[in-house]
Chains A and B, each alone.
Chain A
Amino acid sequence: MKTNKSSSITLLVLFFLFTNNLFSQNEPVNELLKEAKSVSDTAYIYYNRNTMQKAHDMFDQVYQTDKSNIYALYYLTYTEYKLLEMSMQKGNWDEELFDKYYEPALSKAEKLAAEKNFESEGKTILAAIYMMKIANSAMSAVTLSPKINGLLNEAERSNASNPRLYIIRGQMKYNTPGIFGGSYKDAAQNFRKTVWLFEKEEQKDYLQPSWGYLESLAWLGRALEKLENFDEAKFIYQKALNVAPNFSWVKFGLLPKLEQKLKEKN
């Protein structure tokens, strides 16, 4: 079934690539990218490794056919970043998966970061991949943290309205021990800024990078919990579920745990 679907996608892509009309050349490719993007969004909501892998493969097919397609490159890198994250899922650690995608994701992100129009997004995703390395091997924080901070500063200089760079900065602030410059307060401020930027952002093109809204809400809630601001954390989790009722991280993890904590407190 999968093979049939993949073959038809490839055939479709090839067919349209061989036509001369630019419009008719891009349209199905974009449709495919949109479909793959939708799959990757679903994969994140359900936090499902296999679905994310499927989205990855769809982006890869487009990318293999047209290596100049910047969206294909971007989303391929994004799915690899998410697969790195998912490879370290609690109780389901997959070192092989991490090793499989770490280097390829890095080289793609470096390529993206060098693209003039994608500099901010590229540097942000490059920083995010380095952050995954820290999560995998804490000792690399000493060398990679300055690199990540430098990349995020450059991403900010390139486009200060890129909400994703503040998610990564916030996660760095959240996960870095206080004595090395981490701070839940600074983390919360970064996540708040992300949420604000997402909420005022108007997406004109579906293929423009848009990931991170749900993620920033979940992280903001976590930071607020650390700051013992439980009412606001609960509001934020509920808000996330309003946007995506099946957002599994919040639905089955963060919100029930917070409610349990509040129950015990009362």
Chain B
Amino acid sequence: MKNKFRKKSITFLLVFGSITIFAQTKYTIEGRVIDENQKPLPYENVFILNTADGSMSGDDGTFTFTTTQKGNVTLVASMIGYKKFTKEIALSSKKITVKIELEESIVNLKEVIVAASSYGSEKEKGLVISRIDVLTTPGGAADIFQSLKTLPGLTQVSESAELYVRGGDPIETLTMIDGAAFYHPFTFESAYGGLFSNLNQSAVKGMYFSSGGFSAKYGNVLSGVLDIETRNQPERNLYQFGLSLANASFSADIPLQENKFGMYFDIRQSFTKPIFWLNGGLDRMTVSPVSRNGTGGIVYSYSQSGKLKLFFIVADDKQGVNVDRPEYNGTFNGNSKNLFVNLRNTDILFSNLIMKNSLAYNKYSNQWLLGLLDITKTDFVYTFRSDFELSISSANKILWGVEYENRDVKFVGKIPEQDFDIRPEGQSTIIDAFFKGSRIGGYTELQSANPFGLKNISVSCGVRFDRIPELNLNWIDPRSSLGYRLSEKSTIKFGWGIFHQLPDPRFFRAEDGNPNLKSMRADHYVVSYDYSIDEQNSFRFELYHKNYKDLPKENNILNYNNSGSGFANGVDLILKGTLPLGFTGWVSYGYINTKRIWLDYDELTSSSFDITHNFSLVLKYNLAELWQIGINAKYATGRPYTPVNGSIYRNDLKLFEPIYAPTNSDRFPDYKRVDLRITHFNQIFGNVPIVVYMEGLNILNFTNIFGYSYSPDYKERKEIKSYFGNRMVVVGFTFGI
């Protein structure tokens, strides 16, 4: 009986339970997720908070799911870059339809428009040149500038790290670190230019490089921009030590408070004596080039979006090289000191406004000594800059900003009165010149994707204003770019703009310059075609025309006026990614025709930067999992120079004076160089990473000439090679814990 009852009870409970289960109401929630422009947002999770009930939106943004929850529930949808959607819904009817429109919220640093001629560390900034590209470019010594020189539009004028962009002088390219101008980013600055950059690549978080047609936010620059963003606080402790035939380095990443506060630094000492001893060339040196460099940052995140970053570079170098000149054989001694400090603040205000402020100080000094030449240059720069980016919708952004710069440049010492007489007993001119200049600038720019509903079109229009109070000089530069997406993978872009820049401060000296000189001007026109094969492979073809006006030109009465002009026309090509036979890297070619009438040029003449053909091939191949071999092959047309046709004997000076042929009427032989690098990556003592490398510079030992030295009567000439012109081998390693 008892058993019977129990059986009945169980049966009852089972039936009742089943009824209860089956009676549970299922509600269907469906809808569509779209953005403010009614564009569907796919792969978006829509769900009921604190449950597993939900589903993902499809390609058309639609979603549907069922729930057995009851009463009021919270429906959630969130997507990166959009404000979180939450809505209380009452589960009253069996089918509930919800329209979810997500508003863009988190403003990010990516630009709406990628302008023509742009290269960046992230795809949003242009054709990607990443830190790993910099690190593994053979012959580049992991130097950002040397690696950038393999891009089209950058001409191989010398082996220095200076950037000659599309026929422009190196001073026409602006280097910025966290928003602050950095006018002397090189070590070993001499007549041949700076050899390497002062900025260690390990400090770099991101970079943007443009060879023309860039945004209105960059002022007082004619040809190119390199905009570098330094790293944030490190996430973990890391100590690295490196040693090679050319330098020793130590770096540390020290997080002090997780994701909030941390610091990093890198100190290095170069000593080129071992490589010159091993590879030859030591006899040319009285002081082998040595440099010391410290780079570091202290970063504090005071809120989720706010950051304070103190970044510094401190560097010095010295060198002593034997120089043979017709009138004098002596030693060129050079040294320089550099200090750069920048305090940067970034924050996001009102959820859609990015603010970036920077306050920077840079003190640079260098001294050149050769014969009677004894000149010391000091350059003090203070800058303040404030930039804002307001996202007004998912497709429109307004940028604006102001900047103030104070630059004091001082030249003290003596220079030869005649450039052909540098003998210690020669005639000299005493120099004690001080140029003080400040600049106030401001800009605004509108960036819009699909303006007025025009699909596949992106537009950017900007204007900037600059004023030099001391010279009572103002200029206004309008700039714009237009992009049209031909397909998912290809885009055509047009860029146009007016660019102004003050000439080098030395042209403003009252005695031999003109304090009333105006700014130089260049008008850029760029047409660019980009084809992105996939995330790793891209192709770019560009045509450009640059028109120079108001360049400084020698004048009998005023010393200099602004009657100089010129042009640069060219084609740039680059293919980057996976190349045949398992190689990765890039191949680039640049053609340029540039002529100027400026300085002492009598007529429109090839400028010293007119390198007609520039070809670079950077190839990397992974031999095995831990071995990589890389080749960097370069070819460039020889640089124009002014040859000496003869000489006359100057009785008064007791030496020969050269008679020059027309300016830049000849060219040096073509430049050819192949660098090779073999890298081995491994771990020792368990998990301590070690990188061992061997680099062969100019392995085919091509003779590359950057000048001639003449006999005293100028009848015979000898070739001058650069410091690193001979075939050289460098071996080294780095390891970190």
Name A residues whose Cβ lies closer than 8 Å to a Cβ of B: 130, 133, 137-140, 142-147, 149-150, 153, 156-157, 178-181, 185, 188-189, 192-193, 195-196, 199-200, 227, 229, 231-232, 234-236, 238-239, 241-242
Contacts and interface: CB of A to CB of B under 8 A. Distances in A.
A142 B689 CA distance: 12
A133 B626 CA distance: 10
B654 to A, nearest CB: 61
A181 B43 CA distance: 22
Contacts of A143: 622, 624-628, 681
Nearest to B684: A139
A181 B130 contact: yes
Contact of A196 (B42, B578, B628, B687): B42
A135 B476 CA distance: 54
Given A139-B691, A180-B131, A180-B132, 9 more contacts: A140-B625, A143-B622, A149-B535, A150-B536, A153-B534, A179-B231, A196-B56, A231-B49, A231-B78
B50 A234 contact: yes
A176 to B, nearest CB: 10
Interface in B122-179: 130-132, 136
A239 B45 CA distance: 11
Interface in B664-695: 679, 681-683, 687, 689-691
A190 B80 CA distance: 13
B58 interface: yes
A163 to B, nearest CB: 12
Contacts of B42: 196
Contacts of B628: 142-143
A232 B76 CA distance: 8
Given A181-B132, A192-B56, A238-B51, A139 B690 contact: yes
17 contacts: A137-B626, A137-B682, A139-B626, A139-B691, A143-B624, A145-B132, A146-B536, A149-B536, A150-B536, A156-B534, A157-B534, A179-B121, A180-B130, A180-B132, A192-B56, A195-B56, A235-B47
Contacts of B536: 146, 149-150, 153
Contact of A179 (B205, B624, B682): B205
B493 to A, nearest CB: 24
Given A235-B45, A236-B45, A229 B80 contact: yes
A230 B206 CA distance: 28
Contacts, number: 107
A200 B624 CA distance: 39
Query: Residue among B47, B206, B627, B687 with the most chain A CB within 10 A?
Result: B47
Contacts of B691: 139
B229 to A, nearest CB: 10
B130 A235 contact: no
Interface string B613-626: 00000001010111
Contact of A142 (B55, B681, B687): B681
B117 to A, nearest CB: 22
B54 interface: yes
Contacts of A142: 132, 136, 628, 679, 681
Given A133-B625, A139-B683, A139-B690, A232 B51 contact: no
Nearest to B59: A196
A260 to B, nearest CB: 15
Given A138-B689, A180-B131, A196-B43, A242 B625 contact: no
Nearest to A150: B578
Contact of A193 (B43, B51, B52, B622): B43
A185 B54 contact: no
Nearest to A200: B58
Contacts of A139: 626, 681-683, 689-691
The list of the 10 closest CB pairs from A to B, nearest first, reads: A238-B52, A139-B681, A192-B43, A143-B622, A235-B47, A242-B52, A139-B689, A239-B52, A196-B43, A153-B534
Contacts of A185: 80
Contact of B78 (A138, A150, A157, A232): A232
A232 B43 contact: no
B367 to A, nearest CB: 37
B402 interface: no
Contacts of B689: 138-139
Contacts of B45: 192, 232, 235-236
A70 to B, nearest CB: 26
Nearest to B77: A232
A263 to B, nearest CB: 13
B204 interface: yes
Query: Residue among A140, A142, A195 with the most chain B CB within 10 A?
Result: A142
Nearest to B55: A199
B322 interface: no
Contacts of B58: 196, 200
Nearest to B585: A146
B584 interface: yes
Nearest to A156: B534
Contacts of A137: 626, 682-683
Nearest to A144: B625
A199 B56 contact: yes
Nearest to A140: B625
Contacts of B584: 146, 150
